[in-house]
Amino acid sequence: MNRSIRIQRLAPQDRERWQALFYRHQQQSRRRRLLALRSLWDGESMAEVCRSQGVQRKTLEKWLDSYLHGGFDALLAPQRRPRPQTLNPQRRKVLRYILLHKAPADYGIDSYQWTAVHVQDLLSKKWGLSLSANRLYEIFDELGLSLQRAHRDYGPAKPAERASFVKDLEKKPPRPEPTPPL
């Protein structure tokens, strides 16, 4: 059976829901899909709808098929376009190694703690990449790294200074009380 005929058969029962969805969805891309559907309900040809909505026939057919197979939910579902990952798997491994085994100071960053800002600096210096802090937190989670609040860290202590500090902290034996003269 022709798409247009099947869509016109569904028209009477879906008009009220169509109106509610048209008012609810403010995005132009979703409204275009709804308007194309209404135009077909009203008896326009597919060529006329393509011209009025400014879309290719294949795009219109895809919209109509999604409506016929999944209803309004499928028609108004967000469009997903696969994007290539900015940080490919090999670079993720390198980044994980760096975060676990290197300090920011090794890369010219004046700190001893990794923060999202420091990782952003590292990625831009090393590979010319720019990622948001939110995306970095997602990547940290995917890499199995926990996010901890950064705190002040003064770096590794010098052994000699540390030993003298600890020695000063140790309890000293109480002084013997002087004995009164006889």
Q: Cα(115)–Cα(46) distance, rounded to whole angstroms? A: 55
CA atoms within 13 A on the CB side of 83: 5
DSSP 108: T
Read off the pLDDT of residues 21-62 as tens digits, 9 standing for 90 and up.
Answer: 888 888 888 899 989 988 888 888 889 999 999 999 999 999
Query: Binning pLDDT at 50, 70 and 90, where does residue 141 land?
Result: confident
- Rounded Cα–Cα distance for residues 126 and 131 (Å): 13
Proportion of the chain above pLDDT 90, given as a percent:
19
AA identity, residue 103:
A
3-state SS, residue 177: coil
Q: What is the rounded CA–CA span in Å between residue 72 and residue 17?
A: 9
Q: What is the mean pLDDT of residues 115-128?
A: 90
Confidence at residue 9, expressed as pLDDT on a 0 to 100 scale:
74
pTM exceeds cut of 0.75: no
Q: Are 151 and 113 in contact (CB under 8 A)?
A: yes
Helix (H, G, I), strand (E, B) or coil at 71: helix
In terms of C-beta density within 10 A (0-12 exposed, 13-18 middle, 19 or more buried), how is residue 76 classed?
A: buried
Q: Which pLDDT belongs to residue 149?
A: 59
Residue 182 has pLDDT above 80, yes or no: no
148 — pLDDT class (breaks 50, 70, 90): low
* Residue 124 confidence (pLDDT) above 80: yes
Please tell me the distance from the alpha carbon of residue 52 to that of residue 54, in angstroms, as a whole number: 6
How does pLDDT run across 55-75, given as a tens digit for each residue?
Answer: 999 999 999 899 888 888 888
